[in-house]
A and B are shown apart, each in its own frame.
Chain A
Amino acid sequence: NAGVTQTPKFRVLKTGQSMTLLCAQDMNHEYMYWYRQDPGMGLRLIHYSVGEGTTAKGEVPDGYNVSRLKKQNFLLGLESAAPSQTSVYFCASSGPVRDTEAFFGQGTRLTVV
């Protein structure tokens, strides 16, 4: 049972490049989340989804887009990367109702130079 898997684990981008982070969960969870974690800032919610085909903005959505075409996958896109997007990105999933435990992936370390 893999749980929540994030791809890739590490990436270095040049300013202006684009990329997509993939999150996959095998627990049939309804809720999925993308967070970024920066020193002293904790986990800040970028976007989230309450079910297949739905997405919503979180606390820091600017510069990111997401898609949830399949229930098990939640994609985070950076269309034009900026150095301010250097961070550790975590995906999480929970369900079937919102008060259940959230499981996290191992994180993606992204550096934008």
Chain B
Amino acid sequence: QKEVEQDPGPLSVPEGAIVSLNCTYSNSAFQYFMWYRQYSRKGPELLMYTYSSGNKEDGRFTAQVDKSSKYISLFIRDSQPSDSATYLCAFNDYKLSFGAGTTVTVRA
């Protein structure tokens, strides 16, 4: 079993829709939970970061963590064409591990 499983996508949504992205993990040692965004032909950039169960909001983005279920989610409200990218969940114990990524396209 892989340590991190991410819903593969791809997702295509109309502008203004809510985007929901999900990851599960198996390693109980993971303490830090992150979402990275990667535009085409670029390196990933940190989008959201949390270390506790619950919700964290940053503008149109909400990161949700459920440690008991080993499940994390990212929600994008009022999605924009500029949100079109690949989103990767990431987990940190003594190394940084990534999910496979979900490619999101927001249609104008």
Interface positions of A (Cβ within 8 A of B): 4, 31, 33, 35, 40-45, 48, 50, 56, 58-59, 90, 92, 94, 98-99, 101-102, 104-107
Contacts and interface: CB of A to CB of B under 8 A. Distances in A.
Given A102-B46, A105-B43, A45 B97 contact: yes
B6 A42 contact: yes
16 contacts: A33-B96, A40-B8, A43-B88, A44-B98, A45-B96, A45-B98, A48-B95, A48-B96, A50-B94, A90-B43, A90-B44, A92-B96, A94-B96, A101-B49, A104-B44, A106-B43
A53 B4 CA distance: 29
A107 B43 contact: yes
Contacts, number: 56
Given A92-B96, A107-B43, A42 B31 contact: no
Majority-rule SS of B interface residues: loop
A26 to B, nearest CB: 16
Contacts of A43: 44, 88, 98, 101
Interface of B: 6, 8, 31-32, 41-46, 49, 51, 88, 90, 92-101
